[in-house]
Chains A and B, each alone.
Chain A
């Protein structure tokens, strides 16, 4: 059974719209993360959460908003979508925060913005 679930697997959106990427982990971990992988850049850290609290934010744009309704959930809301946002977004989790802890990645959501 998959331990980190990301939904949907593929997502197509139009410029200016808003989308929510879902992530749930069943590893019993206390920290969760978002990373982005695009054709132009290597895997890039976006956010980290520990016990539903934002710990680190390396995303310059406020259009990206993580949302944590439960300890094992960390969704990513993206507003006013731009073609440059097209990428695969990976959720990850680790046992703790304040490292180093091994981070385990989900299968990703591939977002295409037209």
Chain B
């Protein structure tokens, strides 16, 4: 049973457009949700994170939204750039395994010039 689900699996967006990635989770004890960006051959880089007490967090062109009732979160990238082309992972942790990040399978994003 996959505890963190991501969609879509892959996505192509035109340069300058808005990218929306979504994630859902099962475990109601999860209370921390980071998003990571990974380029080929590199490790995941922390992009933005949100705690379950918040419903929105913004950092530059990146905004994450959290809906506790629906157990869903999303990552919005405005003015998407070719340099944003990467794989994006959402993750979750909380409860007994407070430091154990559970990852989704990732979304491969391509920004077309």
Residues of A within 8 A of B (CB): 4, 31, 33, 35, 42-45, 48, 55-56, 58, 90, 94, 97-108
Contact = CB atoms under 8 A, between A and B. Distances in A.
| Range of interface residues on B (Cβ < 8 Å) | 20 to 34
B63 interface: no
B32 A42 contact: no
A44 B105 CA distance: 10
Nearest to B95: A99
Contacts of A45: 97, 100-102
Given A102-B34, A105-B45, A58 B98 contact: no
Given A42-B89, A99-B32, A94 B99 contact: yes
Contacts, number: 67
Interface of B: 4, 31-32, 34, 36, 41-46, 49, 51, 89, 91, 93-94, 97-106
Candidate in B93, B100, B105 with the most chain A CB atoms within 10 angstroms: B100
B49 A102 contact: yes
Contacts of A43: 44, 89, 91, 101, 103
B100 A48 contact: yes
B105 A42 contact: yes
8 contacts: A42-B106, A43-B44, A43-B101, A48-B100, A94-B99, A99-B99, A102-B34, A105-B46
A105 B44 contact: yes
Contacts of B97: 45, 56, 58
A104 B98 contact: no
Nearest to B4: A42
A48 B99 contact: yes
A102 B31 CA distance: 13
A107 B102 CA distance: 19
